[in-house]
Chain A
Amino acid sequence: AQSVSQHNHHVILSEAASLELGCNYSYGGTVNLFWYVQYPGQHLQLLLKYFSGDPLVKGIKGFEAEFIKSKFSFNLRKPSVQWSDTAEYFCAVITGGGNKLTFGTGTQLKVEL
C-alpha cells in the first residue's frame, strides 16, 4: 500500500528564515504528488502539484517543491517565510494513476515575528 512520511511534525521558524519540509513516499511506480496547506480553522488548499516534467514545481505564495525520484522525495521549500505562513502542511500522493489521495501526517509550522 502507498504511504507518505513527513519527518518534521512541528517546526518553529523566525520570519525571513528559509523553510524546507520533508516528504517521502513509498511506491515504486508512477506517482502524482501534492502539497496542501491548512490555515488555522480553515479547510485544505492546494499549494502545488507534480504530475510529470520539470521536477522543480512552483506553487502559490512563493512555495516550491522538488521531486527526486531516486530518493522517493518531494520536499517543500520557501526561501523566506512570513508570519502568515503559520499553518499545517500536508504532503499527499496518488499512485499508479489511481484515484485515492493518501496524506502524510502533516507538519505544524509556526512562524514567529
Chain B
Amino acid sequence: NAGVTQTPKFQVLKTGQSMTLQCAQDMNHEYMSWYRQDPGMGLRLIHYSVGAGITDQGEVPNGYNVSRSTTEDFPLRLLSAAPSQTSVYFCASSPTGQGLYGYTFGSGTRLTVV
C-alpha cells in the first residue's frame, strides 16, 4: 500500500517555466489537497478537491492550477514559475475533508525557482 506518492522529490525551475507536480493515492480517498510549506509560515492550503471533477481554491491559489479527472490523481500545475513559488509542496488525501480519519501526507516536492 503506497499511500500518497509525490513526484518529483526535487525540482529546479527557471523563472517563467511551467511544470506539473504529480500526486497519486491508492487508498480510494475522495478528498485531496495541496499545501506549500515555507519557514515560519506553517502549511498553507493551495487547492483542494472533494472528488473527481470538483476542485476549489484554498488560501494561496494564485499562480497554481489543478484538475481532478480521476479519484487517484491530483496534479498541481505551475503555469509560469516565479521565485516566490520556491517552497516545499505537500499533497494530502483523506476519505473525507472533515479529517475524521486524519489526512495522509505525501513525502513532499522541494521546488526551487531561480
Contacts and interface: CB of A to CB of B under 8 A. Distances in A.
Taking residues whose C-beta sits less than 8 angstroms from the other chain, chain B's interface range is 20 to 34
A46 B90 contact: no
Given A42-B107, A43-B90, A103 B42 contact: yes
Interface residues of A, number: 22
A101 B50 CA distance: 13
Interface in B50-91: 50, 58-59, 90
Contacts, number: 60
B102 A99 contact: no
Interface string A71-102: 00000000000000000001000100111111
Q: Is the interface of A mostly helix, strand, loop or mixed?
A: loop
A100 B43 CA distance: 12
25 contacts: A9-B40, A32-B99, A34-B99, A43-B107, A43-B108, A44-B43, A44-B92, A44-B105, A45-B105, A49-B102, A90-B42, A90-B43, A94-B97, A94-B98, A94-B99, A98-B97, A98-B98, A99-B48, A99-B50, A100-B58, A100-B97, A101-B45, A101-B99, A102-B59, A103-B42
